[in-house]
Structure 1
Amino acid sequence: MILPDAAAAVAALRAAGRTAATCESLTGGLLGAAITAVPGASVVYRGGLITYATDSKETLAGVPARVLARYGAVSPETAELLADGARRRLGADVAVALTGVAGPDPQEGHPAGTVWVGWADGRDRGADRVTVAAAAVAAGRSEVRYAAATAALARLVDLGAAASGGE
């Protein structure tokens, strides 16, 4: 299934001549699957890391253990470092990363629906909190995961547009 913004993300990156990588925790590959469902994605998509377990955030994406210990796996600090790690390790121009709590139970004191999308473009990096509607949280894990992936795709569109002068 192609998430609606996946085609827009691929088109924006292609227009900008940029490549992208992903790093996913709570979505477990949903974001990468959405991107690769778009015809022509191979021109812009370098690949993705799935760092579902906390220790894999360190071993695969290079998030320092001290950051995970201080801020936790579900934090803006971790999200931006996941994105930067994926960008560097996969040799991409830009990257987005997702970390959060799909539910139904809380994690690290964060309720279900807490999601951070991290981004990195080689010059800058950051993280944005994703507002997941209460109805999506109530509907369950799948809805939270789709909301997270949709937010990350929107950030990829923004990163592509910024590179091509559209922002």
Structure 2
Amino acid sequence: MENSTFIKNKKLLTWWLTGLSGAGKTTLARALAEDLRDQGYPVCVLDGDEIRQGLSKDLGFSMAEREEQSRRVAETAKILNQNGILAIVSLVSPSLQGRSLARDIIGKEHFVESYISTPLQICQQRDVKGLYAKAKLDSGLQLTGIGAPYEAPTNADCVIDTSQTELTTATQQLRAFLKE
């Protein structure tokens, strides 16, 4: 099946949700997936935490390993798209270079870079996984945005601050890319 396959006259896409831990990437990815499934679309969420439990369990958190994580996820998303499945990636993917490589692997016509731009202060307040609390106690912990860099997208296709945008509205903003 060619990469230019369409579902219900819509182009196959990979939404690449990037942002800090606690920004709302996973929540938004799951809401978008549920919405798309309700409309009859085949969709798969590729969540960074879940991928690290299997496909990338051999990787650590150095910049090179984070970029390898992004590469593996991009290759997986490409295969999903080639098989008629929409992909939603929820991954910190902290570097511009790593996201650029992902765009190249998937194909720019199928790649929707979505910057979940929720401010660090809000992410720290949410601290769903307790990572920010751990980073306060352990200065050696290389948490993205605290001890490790995060390079915000410079030309994202979509920018959403989940502290300012309701989940339903954010989902609609992402879903709109199917119509283009």
> Relative contact order (C-alpha < 8 Å, sep 6+): which is higher?
2
TM-score of the superposed pair, with normalisation by structure 2: 0.40
Structure with the largest fraction of helix:
1
Which TM-score applies when normalising by structure 1? Answer: 0.42
